[in-house]
Amino acid sequence: MVVAVEHIRRMRGGAQSHLMRCDDGGYYIVKFQNNPQHVRILANEMLGTKIAGCLGLRVPQMEVVEVRRELIELTAELVMQLGIGRTPCRAGRQFGSRYPGDPAQLAVHDFLPDEQLQQVENLAEFAGMLVFDKWTCNTNGRQAIFFLEPGRSRYQAMLIDQGFCFNAGEWNFPDAPLRGLYNRHGVYRHVTGMDSFEPWLSRVEERLSRSQLGELAGGIPPEWYNDEYGQLDELTRRLDQRRHGVRELILSARDSGRQPFPNWE
């Protein structure tokens, strides 16, 4: 766990997260327990990020970030803006997604123009992200960040925002053909068949046993799911069961009529 020492700025997005500097010298995008979406968003972020990492996808480092009451009281910006009025961010353990460098030195982009997008170094990984999103039933569009590491000429993509995996606060799996796709389908131009989803697809089918999923879930602070241990256990049980349905879900995306994979032979 790390402790937040300074508020830097508010971020865009429905969870109203904040960029904060922490006592390990790192900068983290912090999502608070009392975000306007659901407390379980934090649990989803942690479990989703760990699973994606185990599948070999590029994800930010993450940490549990302790935000103390004194810092919140001293920082006028640390509030949730509600329909009417505002309420202070809750103190305690929050989810932190590490900024991949120093924000003053390294620019991070939510979107890239098509030309740069096509040249992203790990573009083929978007197929792996889809495998992950189908498995976890991410009910939001896929989100990624892009940045140029010093000395490199091509952008790197990193998978962020797993808040709506497992259907956000619902913890169910309303599968639909277009769910989980990245909205710029050009990222799937490498996809020529089911093999293009390897090695991630086999990893979903063969790695991360039920008990390993349970171990990952066991690391989540219980206040991020209101101590509903039985429901968390049920979530990992259902994940374990649905791993063999991912191929079928990819085929239904292919056949959806939107043609996300124009180069599928």
Ligand X SMILES: Nc1ncnc2c1ncn2[C@@H]1O[C@H](COP(=O)(O)OP(=O)(O)O)[C@@H](O)[C@H]1O
Residue 265, helix vs strand vs coil? coil
Helices and strands: H and E segment counts in the chain: 8, 10
Cis-peptide, bond into residue 199, ω within 30° of zero: yes
Residue 40: name the closest of 174, 234, 232, 210 by CA: 232
Is residue 15 at the binding interface for ligand X, with CB under 6 A as the rule? yes
- Region near ligand X per CB under 6 A, out of 7-15, 66-74, 180-188, 222-230: 7-15
- Region near ligand X per CB under 6 A, out of 8-16, 86-94, 125-133, 148-156: 8-16
* Backbone conformation region of residue 60, classed left if phi is above 0, alpha if psi is from -120 to 50, else beta: beta
Q: What is the DSSP string of 116-144?
A: HHTT-TTTTHHHHHHHHHHHHT--S--EE
Is residue 13 at the binding interface for ligand X, with CB under 6 A as the rule? yes
Is residue 102 at the binding interface for ligand X, with CB under 6 A as the rule? no
- What stretch of H or E contains 7? strand 2-10
Tell which one of 7, 17, 134, 216 touches ligand X (CB under 6 A): 17
Tell which one of 8, 79, 80, 108 touches ligand X (CB under 6 A): 108
By the 10 Å C-beta count (0-12 exposed, 13-18 middle, 19+ buried), 248 is classed as exposed
Tell which one of 5, 11, 148, 168 touches ligand X (CB under 6 A): 11
Residue 29 interacts, among Mg ion, ligand X, none and using kind-specific CB cut-offs from 5 to 8 Å, with ligand X
Is residue 143 at the binding interface for ligand X, with CB under 6 A as the rule? yes
Tell which one of 51, 145, 165, 181 touches ligand X (CB under 6 A): 145
Is residue 12 at the binding interface for ligand X, with CB under 6 A as the rule? yes
The torsion of the CA quartet 243, 249, 254, 256, rounded to 10 degrees, works out to -170
- Give the nearest residue (CB) to Mg ion: 161
Residue 17 interacts, among Mg ion, ligand X, none and using kind-specific CB cut-offs from 5 to 8 Å, with ligand X
Tell which one of 29, 52, 181, 250 touches ligand X (CB under 6 A): 29
Query: Angle, to 10 degrees, between the axis of helix 125-136 and the axis of helix 40-54?
Result: 130
Residue 158, helix vs strand vs coil? strand
- Region near ligand X per CB under 6 A, out of 71-79, 80-88, 92-100, 201-209: 92-100
Distance, in Å, from the CA atom of 182 to the CA atom of 161, rounded to the nearest integer, reads: 13
Supply the DSSP symbol for 183.
S
Judged by CB under 6 A, how many residues of this single chain contact ligand X? 19
Is residue 47 at the binding interface for ligand X, with CB under 6 A as the rule? no
Tell which one of 97, 136, 167, 236 touches ligand X (CB under 6 A): 97
Tell which positions 127-186 bind Mg ion, by CB under 5 A. 143, 161
Give the binding site for ligand X (CB under 6 A).
11-15, 17, 29, 60, 97-100, 108, 110, 143, 145, 160-161, 163
Give the binding site for Mg ion (CB under 5 A).
13, 143, 161
